[in-house]
Amino acid sequence: MAYATWLPLEPGADVWDLIPGARDALRALYASLWQAGIDGELLERCRRRADALIDGLPTEDDTDCSERDRAALGFVEQYVIDPHGVTDAQAETLHGLFTAEELAALTTALATFDALARVRTVLGAVAGTPASIDITAT
Amino acid sequence: MRFAPPPGGASFFDHRPDVFAAFNVLYGTLWTDGAVDQPTKEVARLRNARVVDCGI
């Protein structure tokens, strides 16, 4: 989980060394997610999907996926792109394919993958600064 | 409610208290440790919540 960054760090250090305990806490969270009863391959695919969307890269082909996997990946896409866009129908489909326990774990996983992908993107932008970032209060 | 909490629970995440606890340990670590003071983090949290239209 070492991230490339433009932050000033000591040689051999990475971002996670800046916050005592954060690396261990993240590892523990990852371990709990991978032990939560959801197929590890699906979780990894969800992580790659979030990364691809945030990095603006092509996403993997889902044609070989099960209905359950496609529903999870669709949930990832909606979560990353527009969480308000999750529909009642999408939620109903997810409830039909996952238990509430699995959905709680999957949603926590998505939150983690999304956040880490954004952090990695922001801190790893070594090629220059964006043209503009509009943070005007609304 | 699309994602309802379990009986006696406060949020949907209470369906997996072990996972939620692990998440909260990381969240708490980021919140309480590090070089940035908590008021600044709260300002960032509020701005983020406003941008994504989160009611929390």
Each residue's pLDDT tens digit in chain A (138 positions)? 566 677 777 887 778 888 889 999 999 999 999 999 999 999 999 999 999 999 889 999 988 899 999 999 999 999 999 999 999 999 999 999 999 999 999 999 999 999 999 988 888 765 555 545 455 655
| Residue B52, pLDDT score | 83
Q: Please answer whether residues A83 and A111 qualify as being in contact, where contact means their C-beta atoms are separated by less than 8 angstroms.
A: no
Entry field: residues in chain B = 56
pLDDT digits (tens, 9 = 90+) for B6-53: 999 999 999 999 999 999 999 999 998 888 899 999 999 999 888 888
A contacts of B14 (beta carbons < 8 Å) = 104
State how far the Cα of B38 lies from the Cα of B56, in Å rounded to an integer. 17
**For A103, which of B3, B20, B51 is closest by C-beta distance?**
B3
Contact B12 A29 (CB under 8 A): no
Q: Please answer whether residues B1 and B10 qualify as being in contact, where contact means their C-beta atoms are separated by less than 8 angstroms.
A: no
In eight-state DSSP terms, residue A83 is G
pLDDT digits (tens, 9 = 90+) for A96-134: 999 999 999 999 999 999 999 998 888 876 555 554 545
Q: Does A21 touch chain B (CB under 8 A)?
A: yes
Residue B4 identity (one-letter amino acid): A
Residue A120 identity (one-letter amino acid): R
Contact A108 B23 (CB under 8 A): yes
What's CA B11's distance to the chain center, in Å? Answer: 11
What pTM does this model have?
0.86
Identify which of A107, A97, A115, A5 has the alpha carbon closest to the alpha carbon of residue A54. A115
**For B22, which of A28, A100, A107 is closest by C-beta distance?**
A28
| Residue A2, pLDDT score | 64
In eight-state DSSP terms, residue B32 is H
**For B15, which of A21, A25, A101 is closest by C-beta distance?**
A101
| Residue A18, pLDDT score | 81
Question: What does the DSSP assignment read for A75-108?
Answer: HHHHHHH-GGG--HHHHHHHHHHS-HHHHHHHHH
